[in-house]
Structure 1
Amino acid sequence: MNSEILKLKRQVKLLIGACLVLFLGMIVTVFTVLNHDRSGSVLDVERINIREADGTIKMVLSNKARQHPGRMLKKDLEPREREAGLIFFNSDGDECGGLVYDNDKESAGMVYSIDKYQDDQIMQLQYMEDTQTKKRKYGLQLWSYGKEDAFAERQDRYKELTTSDSKQVRDSAVTIMRNEGLLATDRMFLGKNYKDEIGLFIHDSQGRPRIRIMVDKNNQAILETVDTLGNVMVKSGI
């Protein structure tokens, strides 16, 4: 198991490095194009759309007010509040990921998301902080979906939730959706959590914690395996 964990850590490091190189390359490319033959000038805009020759949207660079709501299955999503940043689209014109950020006196965050084809995010490089309590979480997060190709069904079910004023009814509906595999399930987090633990946290297909390899806030190295009922089966110092 240790060799597999080391292999996973190496793969994650390579992935993070590749993501950073990709971001820097895209940002440099965008600003190189925008400033071509405009040496010494400043371009102030609220939103930039990058399109293919046939009009297919490929990337949006926008402030918060004009941010693209997202697009899936060749249809724009309903208007919604989204943070400033970059939104990426695939050759079908559907959203496939993005880099967004915001910081204020209450919270701070930046995330790079990678979306499953014709579905929502499955991987995210993230930083989140409560700037009041100084609690922070940052690292690589993975999710999975029990039901394939269910984006449209998920959206329709979410719309149904808004028709009820009962929190109990809404919570019950969310539980049913989760049991049907319509919602994202936490599978892995590699990084620092809100408890000041730094390590690798692996969940099963039901979202239940199963393996924790970490250094806690007291600098104790810990390895835990957990059964499906949440009982710690193995706990040892490393």
Structure 2
Amino acid sequence: MQRSQQFLVLYSGVLTVAFAATALLAFGPWRTGDFRELTVERLNVVEPDGTLRMVISNHDLIPGIIVRSEERALDRSQAGMLFYNDEGSEVGGLIFGGHRNAEGEVVDSGVSLSFDKYESNQIVSLYGVDDSKNKFAGLSVADSPSGSEVNRRIWLGRGEDGIATLALMDADGNKRLLMQVEPDGQAKFSVLDAEGNVIQNVLPSSVAE
């Protein structure tokens, strides 16, 4: 009886070690291979020291704002892909979403690809938004000199009014040059002062006459 018990203990120990070794080989950090399909709710890409470099996530698990590996809560209404620099700070991302609310309105519908200044605000953004509150698409280039404020310098896009616009702003974000084409094809070029007053309009000769 005693030998049987000793055998069972030894046998159990061998099985435990074998199972642990199999799990480590299957899921350890050295595991590589080709996979036809992978289903996850969130995927973290990290450096060998654990520094986060990229997250691909659904809406429920998408992180808040991460600066130097420290996360601050932020309610994001989309899923997407977030990028991080060498120090584990967010530097931009690709986010997307859209659904109907209880009233049947389309909300949070669109895609945004953005790139951030070092530990600061977005300075380049590509937008495509179309829901019950906003309808616009375009490219935005901004300044953030001190890291606290954001002053848009360039906007190239289309607004809800259907007007295609190229707007150039000064360092304070004031529009100074506007090139616009309305849906019916009417085009104009405008020069503005710092207060937004039109100094000069340049229209096609057929319209100006």
Q: TM-score range by the shorter chain?
A: 0.7 to 0.9
- TM-score norm. by structure 1 comes to 0.65
Q: Secondary structure at the match of 2:184?
A: coil
Higher RCO (C-alpha under 8 Å, 6+ residues apart): 1
Identical positions, percent = 29
**2:39 is equivalent to residue 38 of structure 1:** no
2:141 aligns to what? 142
Q: CA deviation at 1:202?
A: 1.3
Q: CA deviation at 1:127?
A: 0.7
Q: 1:214/1:79 Cα in 2 relative to 1: closer, same or farther (>3 Å)? A: closer
- Select the residue among 64, 76, 81 that pairs with 2:71: 76
- Count, aligned residues: 167
Q: What is the one-letter code of the residue matched to 2:179?
A: I
2:82 aligns to what? 87
| Root mean square deviation, CA, Å | 2.0
Q: CA deviation at 1:74?
A: 4.1
Q: CA deviation at 1:36?
A: 4.6
2:120 aligns to what? 119
2:19 aligns to what? none
**2:180 is equivalent to residue 214 of structure 1:** yes
- TM-score norm. by structure 2 comes to 0.73
Whichever of the two has the greater Rg, that structure is 2
Structure 1: where are the runs of 5+ without partners?
1-34, 151-181
1:143-162 superposed Cα distances (whole Å, 9 cap, x missing partner): 21242xx4xxxxxxxxxxxx
Q: What is the one-letter code of the residue matched to 1:195?
A: D
Separation in structure 2 between the aligned mates of residue 104 and residue 79 of structure 1, nearest angstrom: 20
Contact 1:69 1:82 (C-alpha < 8 Å) held by counterparts: no
Separation in structure 1 between the aligned mates of residue 193 and residue 150 of structure 2, nearest angstrom: 21
Q: CA deviation at 1:141?
A: 0.7
Structure 1 segments, 4+ long, off by >6 Å, are none
1:5 aligns to what? none
- Structure number with the higher strand fraction is 2
Contact 2:110 2:130 (C-alpha < 8 Å) held by counterparts: yes
- Structure number with the higher helix fraction is 1
Structure 2: where are the runs of 5+ without partners?
1-31, 101-105, 205-209
